[in-house]
Structure 1
Amino acid sequence: MNPDERPVSLEMEPEEMRRLGYAAIDALVDRAQGLRDDRPWQGGTRRELEPLFREDCPEEPGDADAVLRRAIDDILPRAGRIDHPRFFAFVPSSPSWAALLGDLLATGFNTFQGTWLESAGPSQVELVVLDWFRQWLGMPEGAGGLFTSGGSAANLGAVVAAREAAGHPERPVVYLSDQSHSSVERAARIAGFREEHLRRIPSDDGFRIDPAALDRALADDRAAGRTPVLVAANGGATNTGAVDPLPVLADLCEAHGCWLHVDAAYGGFAVLDPRGRAALTGIERAHSITLDPHKWLFQPYETGCLLVRDPADLTRAFRVLPEYLQDTDLGFEQVNFADRGLQLTRAFRALKVWTALQVHGRRAHAEAIGRALDLAIEAEAMLRAHPGVEILSPASLGIVCFRLRPEGAVPQADEAALEALNRAVQDAVVDEGTAMMSSTRLRERYALRLCILNHRSTRDDVRAVVERIAALGRERMELARG
Structure 2
Amino acid sequence: MATHMDAEEFRRQGHAVVDWIADYWSGLRDRPVTAQEPPGAIAARLPAAPPEQGENFEQILADLDTVVTPGLTHWQHPGFFGYFPANTSGPSVLGDLVSAGLGVQGMLWATGPACTEVETVMLDWLAQLLDLPARFRSTGPGGGVIQDSASSATLVATLAALHRAGGGDWRAQGVTRRYRVYTSTQGHSSIEKAARIAGLGDEGVRAVEVDELLALDPVALRTAITADQAAGVVPALVVATIGTTSTTAIDPLPAISQICREYGIWLHVDAAYAGAAAVCPELRHTHTGLEYADSYCFDPHKWLLTGFDCDAFWVADRAELVETLSVLPEYLRNAATESGAVLDYRDWQVPLGRRFRALKLWFVLRSYGVEGLRAHIRSGVELAAWFADQVRADERFELVAPHPFSLVCFRLRAGDESSAALLARLNATGRIYLTHTRVAGRYTLRLAVGSPLTRKEDVFDAWRLVSELADVADQADSDQL
TM-score per shorter chain, which class? over 0.9
Structure 2 match to 1:157: 156
Written as runs of structure 1 = structure 2, the 5 A alignment for 1:134-153 is: 134-135=127-128, 136-141=130-135, 142=140, 143-153=142-152
Structure 2 match to 1:14: 7
Distance 2:69 2:357 in 1: 23
For the 8 Å contact 2:86–2:302, the answer to whether it is kept is yes
Distance 1:159 1:270 in 2: 25
Written as runs of structure 1 = structure 2, the 5 A alignment for 1:31-180 is: 31-135=24-128, 136-141=130-135, 142=140, 143-167=142-166, 168=170, 170-180=177-187
Higher mean C-alpha displacement, 52-61 vs 82-91:
52-61
- 2:71 partner SS: coil
Distance 1:454 1:258 in 2: 37
Give the drift of 1:382.
1.0
For the 8 Å contact 1:102–1:352, the answer to whether it is kept is yes
Q: Does 1:373 align with 2:389?
A: no
For the 8 Å contact 2:42–2:71, the answer to whether it is kept is no
Written as runs of structure 1 = structure 2, the 5 A alignment for 1:31-430 is: 31-135=24-128, 136-141=130-135, 142=140, 143-167=142-166, 168=170, 170-327=177-334, 329-406=337-414, 418-430=415-427
- 1:249 partner SS: helix
- 2:400 partner SS: strand
Give the drift of 1:13.
3.2
Change (3 A) 1:349 1:309: same
Give the drift of 1:310.
0.9
Give the drift of 1:430.
1.5
Q: Does 1:469 align with 2:466?
A: yes
- 1:446 partner SS: strand
Letter in 2 for 1:130: L
For the 8 Å contact 2:322–2:347, the answer to whether it is kept is yes
For the 8 Å contact 2:418–2:477, the answer to whether it is kept is no
Give the drift of 1:313.
1.6
Deviations 1:71-102 (A, max 9, x none): 24421342111111221100121212111111
Give the drift of 1:182.
0.6
For the 8 Å contact 1:158–1:306, the answer to whether it is kept is no
Give the drift of 1:268.
0.9
Letter in 1 for 2:163: E
Structure 2 match to 1:27: 20
- 1:19 partner SS: helix
Give the drift of 1:170.
1.3
Structure 2 match to 1:410: none
Structure 2 match to 1:4: none
Give the drift of 1:405.
2.2
Question: What is the percentage of aligned positions where both structures have the same residue?
Answer: 34
Deviations 1:224-263 (A, max 9, x none): 3321100011111011011100111111111111111111
Give the drift of 1:427.
1.8
Q: Compute the RMSD of aligned alpha carbons.
A: 1.7
Distance 2:3 2:65 in 1: 22
Change (3 A) 1:47 1:99: closer
- 1:440 partner SS: strand
Distance 1:108 1:318 in 2: 30
Residue correspondences, number: 464
For the 8 Å contact 2:397–2:412, the answer to whether it is kept is yes
Structure 1 match to 2:173: none
For the 8 Å contact 2:426–2:465, the answer to whether it is kept is yes
Letter in 2 for 1:387: E
In structure 1, stretches of 5+ residues that fail to align are 1-7, 407-417
Distance 1:54 1:420 in 2: 42
Change (3 A) 1:10 1:345: farther
Give the drift of 1:137.
4.1
For the 8 Å contact 2:42–2:68, the answer to whether it is kept is no
For the 8 Å contact 2:2–2:54, the answer to whether it is kept is no
- 1:395 partner SS: coil
Letter in 2 for 1:445: R
Give the drift of 1:103.
0.9
- 1:76 partner SS: helix
Letter in 1 for 2:49: D
In structure 2, stretches of 5+ residues that fail to align are 171-175
Give the drift of 1:330.
4.1
Structure 2 match to 1:455: 452
Give the drift of 1:196.
2.8
Distance 1:332 1:46 in 2: 53
